[in-house]
Amino acid sequence: MMGINFMFTETWYTNPSDVVQFDEYQSVFINRTNRKGGGVALYIHHGIRFAFLDNFSMVDADYEIIAVDSLDQIVLLIYRPLSGNVNNFILHMDNTLHAIQEICKNIVVIGDFNIDMLSNSYAARNLTNTMACYGCTNVVNVPTRITTEKESILDLGFTDFVSTDIECGVLESDISDHLPFFVFLPNQNITPLVPRNSFLYRKINDETLGVFRDLVLRENWSDVYGENNPSLAYDVFLAKFRNNYFKAFPEVSFTIYKKAKNPG
């Protein structure tokens, strides 16, 4: 989305002076003060006007939220700890969105919810129904956490923008067990764009996931089972797994754009 460039959850910062700063970006963050872990931070490009919404931003045992008003959008960055009470979190989201809808701006709620939308759990249904009451649907429809046993969509992006105007995808990363994802939303205040640079990402959807499953099923795993050294067995397994992953999800180039300067 335009203006909100980077969002991070579970930053694990406790001291504001430790928060990483990026050139040409202004940071907004909330850290835990009484225990380790958690924390949320977002970075907005300099020159983009925004307002920090203190009354909607908070940290407690059940949720950690930053709220800003930027470019005619109310943006909420969410981290819900697994240890938190999921019912309290969903009730809080209901109350928050009820208040936000009075502002009459588009809504974007994004982050690590730790609620698996691929499951048929009560929490997943309750969250979906609650967000739908405010015209918001989840646009992240590919797994954001993949293990050999399970695929989950734990990192979500809810918005009331029309879904056909939205682009969303998942990026490959070995930094975390959750995959980073991107969401591009329409904006009414768009100026001419010029190419800046490109980055690579991998498309993960029903079709490519099917290819990946077929490759894994056809793979010969006998050398993994036959290796007596657990560390070597893991190395062989990982090499085969990554090879099939790269085949099923090839890199695709995507161009980043920036606003063109007005002629002076």
pLDDT of the residue at 97: 92
- Give percent of the chain with pLDDT exceeding 90: 27
Asked whether the predicted pLDDT for residue 161 surpasses 70, the reply is yes
Of 72 and 256, which is predicted with more confidence? 72
The candidate with the shortest Cα–Cα distance to 138, out of 102, 109, 171, is: 109
Beta-sheet pairing, 151-152 with 145-146: antiparallel
Which residue pairs, CB below 8 angstroms and at least 24 apart, start in 175-178? 177/145, 177/147, 178/112, 178/144, 178/145, 178/154
Asked whether the predicted pLDDT for residue 173 surpasses 60, the reply is yes
Asked whether the predicted pLDDT for residue 215 surpasses 80, the reply is yes
224-234 tens-digit pLDDT? 899 888 878 87
Task: Say if pTM beats, i.e. exceeds, 0.75.
Answer: no
The candidate with the shortest Cα–Cα distance to 152, out of 192, 187, 120, 175, is: 120
C-alpha separations of 54 from 57, 79, 250 in Å: 5, 17, 42
Asked whether the predicted pLDDT for residue 194 surpasses 50, the reply is no
The one-letter amino acid code at 171 reads L
Asked whether the predicted pLDDT for residue 28 surpasses 60, the reply is yes
The residue extents of the domains of the chain are 4-189, 196-259
Q: How far from chain centre, in Å, is Cα 10?
A: 12
pLDDT of the residue at 199: 53
Q: Are 56 and 65 in contact (CB under 8 A)?
A: yes
The one-letter amino acid code at 257 reads Y
The one-letter amino acid code at 238 reads L
> Average pLDDT, stretch 161-179?
72
Q: Are 204 and 246 in contact (CB under 8 A)?
A: no
What is the CATH architecture assignment of 4-189?
A: 4-Layer Sandwich (3.60)
